[in-house]
């Protein structure tokens, strides 16, 4: 992606140095700072955020439907301690992934 005689990366880096921040988004500047070429628009509208939040909220219904066999076989104590252990493991995984992806805020940052 050429912009005249300069590439977009050179244009953004010179724009950052010159203080011309209006022509490039913060996302583009961050990607170029990381050595990545901005190719995709990463914007979330109202419908995308609503869809994601509904997906997250439906997990409680899933927990209720999955807990029935556990209640029948292990009782309330088995469900409680199993849920607690799984919760601790999940929080550990999410914490590590969030820390890794914060180092390079790109799609798939934890794989870099």
> Tens digit of pLDDT for each residue in 9-52?
566 566 556 555 567 788 788 888 888 877 877 777 889 888 88
For 22, how many CA atoms within 13 A lie in the half-sphere containing its CB? 0
- Report, as an integer, the average pLDDT of 69-84: 85
* Its pTM surpasses 0.85: no
As a whole number of angstroms, the distance between CA 59 and CA 52 comes to 12
As a whole number of angstroms, the distance between CA 63 and CA 79 comes to 11
Provide the mean pLDDT of the chain. Answer: 76
101 CB contacts (<8 Å, ≥6 apart)?
109, 110
Whether residue 104 contacts residue 112, with contact meaning beta carbons closer than 8 Å, is answered with yes
* Burial class, 31, CB count within 10 angstroms (exposed 0-12 / middle 13-18 / buried 19+): buried
């Amino acid at each position: 992606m050429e912009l005249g005689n300069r590439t977009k990366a050179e244009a953004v880096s010179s724009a950052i140095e010159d203080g011309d921040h209006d022509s490039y988004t913060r996302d583009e500047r961050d990607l170029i700072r990381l050595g990545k070429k901005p190719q995709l628009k990463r914007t979330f509208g109202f419908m995308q955020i609503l869809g994601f939040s509904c997906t997250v909220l439906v997990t409680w219904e899933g927990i209720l439907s999955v807990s029935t066999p556990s209640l029948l076989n292990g009782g309330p104590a088995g469900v409680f301690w199993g849920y607690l252990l799984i919760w601790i493991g999940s929080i550990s995984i999410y914490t590590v992934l969030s820390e890794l992806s914060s180092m390079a805020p790109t799609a798939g940052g934890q794989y870099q």
